[in-house]
Structure 1
Amino acid sequence: MSGYIRSSLRGQRGMSYWSLMLIVAVFGFILTCVSKMGPAYIDAYYVDEGLKKLAENPNLRDMTRGQIKSELDRFFLINNVRGEPTKAVQVIRGADSVLVSVDYELRQPLIRNVDVVMKFDKQLNTAKPELCCEPLVDLEQFRKRD
């Protein structure tokens, strides 16, 4: 019985040096990805919230483009949203609705010459405010006209 116990204890020595290094490297890579990409996703969350708050405004259809952008800018300032999301606000007036779009792309360096490209497309259509923040309209047709 003593030989069985000795051989089973040899199989339970624990993790090797290389196994530990692999776990540390994987954990480090995940932590790097979260620290580099996390702020962009937090900003996208606040863009969502800003559009939802704007959808609750009963006077949205009567507001000018400048007033709509000013409302969003105020929300972005309070929630510390900076950079691309604030520059990408686009207001398009239709016959019976207003479309507020925040469509932008971020390129974040990850490791040395490897970049991560994140694309965000959020829209508020006053004709369907309950579907806030999902892209309903392809804006390429409007960009070609400009």
Structure 2
Amino acid sequence: MKTIKQQKGATLWGTLFVLAVVGFFAMVTVKLVPFYMDNLSIEKIIKGAEKISKEGSPIDTVDAFYTYVEKSLPLNNIRDLKVDDIMKVEQVGGEFVVKLDYERKTPLVKNIGVVMTFNQEYRVRVQ
């Protein structure tokens, strides 16, 4: 039986295990957060079409909406996504129905990777 003096502090293996777990979650966070930030930027772009249309640059057709989003992506440093691949737009009455549907893949360690799926629908009034 060990005395209290011999049981003080964490062991080397315990400390290494905690550092490994913290390091793994830090690595996952560093790889995944940029994809979520890109998705938030795309959401802002889509919702911003309503404001842009009211301020004087009319976005009144589906082609004009696609053009607006296509020009806005590089301004938000999103260069690896193509508008035609990530969203479908339909005009219903005085609003656009935007269906955002795409996946992002990233490797973690060797042959282990993560796939994130973004699937949202937005309604944007433009008139």
What is the TM-score normalised by the length of structure 2?
A: 0.78
Alignment correspondent of 1:9: 5
Give me the whole-angstrom Cα distance separating, in 1, the residues matched to 2:79 and 2:120.
Answer: 16
| Counterpart mapping for 1:1-146 below 5 A | 7-12=3-8, 14-56=9-51, 57-58=53-54, 63-84=60-81, 86=83, 87-126=85-124
Give me the whole-angstrom Cα distance separating, in 2, the residues matched to 1:36 and 1:82.
Answer: 17
Give me the whole-angstrom Cα distance separating, in 1, the residues matched to 2:58 and 2:95.
Answer: 7
What value does the CA root-mean-square deviation take over the aligned residues?
A: 2.5
Same amino acid, percent of matched pairs: 22
Structure 2, unaligned runs of 5 or more: none
Give me the whole-angstrom Cα distance separating, in 2, the residues matched to 1:72 and 1:63.
Answer: 13
Higher strand share: 2
* CA offset digits 1:63-98 (Å, max 9, x no partner): 222211121122212110122363313211234532
SS in 1 for 2:46: helix
Give me the whole-angstrom Cα distance separating, in 2, the residues matched to 1:49 and 1:55.
Answer: 10
Q: By how many angstroms is 1:50 displaced?
A: 1.0
SS in 2 for 1:126: strand
Distance change >3 Å, CA 47–CA 74, structure 1 → 2: same
